[in-house]
Amino acid sequence: MRIFRRKKSTEVISGDIANREVEGLSQGQIVRRRFLRHRGAIISLIVLGTTMLFVFSALDLTLGFIKYPGWWKYSIIDQPDIRTDGCPPGLGGCPTLSINPFGAFGLGDHPFGQDDIGRDYFALVMRGAQRSILVMFIIGIVGGAIGTTVGAISGFYRGWVDSVLMRFTDFIITIPSIIIGSVIGYHFGNLGVPFLALYLGLFAWTGLSRLVRGEFLSLREREFVDAAKVAGASNRRIIFKHILPNAVGVIIVSVTLIMSGAILLETALSYLGFGVVAPDVSLGLLISQYQDSFTTRPWLFWYPGIFIILIALSVNFIGDGLRDAFDPRQRRRISRKEKAAERKVAADRQV
């Protein structure tokens, strides 16, 4: 009984401290404070932002009629002579990247090496990361929009509307995503990366729609919704002004999961030959093209894989931080001094 009482007292004290900390703050301020305390999410956000800035600034970037010059000297079409400096006998195009903890850091002429025809592999990886990140964001936006719309309509109106939409969702779920992606890539892969990502996003919304539906089924029974109906608010106003803002946490977290899965799906499709096609480049396509070089020139396999893992893990950790921030039951991380104080107060109460 003593252990139970002490634990209960500690939980009450922790709840009091947490309540006092967020007293007077808006929901947005509470979410922001919780997210900023999630070290993994903050580090991942910095890593992802730095990676994107590094990747998109390296090569020449064209947006409409405006061209932004990159800081790297080679493009994906340049074919300089294959260098043999520092390579084992019989090999060429070795990486010139120098990371020496006791010496100087240097990129060299070809930090990631060169491919079979002499193209700079650093430029190829940067281009591949650009396309993979673009696919990730397009699929996340399209899938998030469709999933939110389907789930909101299904959960709010219920009845036959809910039945029809959920049975259609179940049908999409039964088809493996890799098969859907392969069919889309085979028919639309030659239209370019944006169109490929757009078509893939049309089938990436099923999990989100179920979560949004559950949130709307729960929120539509709350008192503030009943009050809005009594006040004469239309269904459209109730959905957009009252229910949707309270479901935004679930939506944002689910979209990050869609995005992390999207880059892995694009990698798998490109590896199988149904994703991004040459002469364009993606990280999955680079791994597919140079998989035979894993034993002789493994750097052609390592660098695209490192960027895939880095991007996917960063998005996952950011989603984890957002989930903890939006979860109203999330407990605050307490310092050692506060824990010691709680134990002392709990012991005094026990006595």
Alpha-carbon 220 to chain mean position: 29
Over the stretch 249-289, which tens digit does the pLDDT of each residue have? 889 989 999 998 898 888 888 888 888 877 788 888 888 88
Segments forming the whole domain that contains residue 299: 38-79+110-331
Q: Report CA 264 to chain centroid distance, whole Å.
A: 10
DSSP 122-133: HHHHHHHHHHHH
Asked if residue 324 belongs to a domain, the reply is yes
Q: What separation in angstroms does the CA of 335 have from each of 169, 219, 227, 339?
A: 45, 35, 42, 6
DSSP 278-318: TTS--HHHHHHHTGGGTTT-THHHHHHHHHHHHHHHHHHHH
Each residue's pLDDT tens digit, 2-58: 444 444 444 444 455 455 555 667 777 888 888 888 889 999 999 999 999 999 988
Asked if 61 and 68 count as a contact pair (C-beta separation under 8 A), the reply is yes
- CATH at residue 141: 1.10.3720.10
Q: Rounded to an integer, what distance in angstroms lies between the CA atom of residue 300 and that of residue 302?
A: 6
Q: Does residue 11 sit within a domain?
A: no
**Residue 22 belongs to some domain of the structure:** no
Peptide bond into 279 cis (omega under 30): yes
Asked whether residue 275 is domain-assigned, the answer is yes
pLDDT tens for the 351 residues of the chain, in order: 444 444 444 444 445 545 555 566 777 788 888 888 888 999 999 999 999 999 998 888 877 677 788 888 888 888 877 877 777 777 777 777 766 655 555 677 888 888 888 888 999 999 999 998 999 999 999 999 999 999 999 999 988 999 999 999 999 988 888 888 888 888 877 777 888 888 889 888 999 999 999 999 999 888 988 898 888 888 899 988 889 888 888 899 899 999 988 988 888 888 888 888 777 888 888 888 888 777 788 888 889 999 999 999 999 999 888 888 887 555 444 445 545 555 665 555 555
Q: Is residue 347 part of a domain?
A: no
Question: Residue 171 corresponds to which tokens in the numbers above?
Answer: 């049908």
The pair phi, psi for residue 126, each rounded to 5°, is: -65, -45
- Is 339 domain-assigned? no
- Which residues on adjacent β-strands are paired with residue 114? 120
Residues 252 and 326: beta-carbon distance below 8 Å:
yes
Number of domains in the chain: 1
d(CA 302, CA 295): 11
Q: Is residue 250 part of a domain?
A: yes
Please check whether residue 77 is in contact with residue 60, taking contact to mean a CB–CB distance below 8 angstroms: no
Surface-to-core class of residue 340, CB atoms within 10 Å of its CB (0-12 exposed, 13-18 middle, 19+ buried):
exposed
Is residue 315 a part of any domain in this protein? yes
**Cβ(162)–Cβ(155) under 8 Å?**
yes
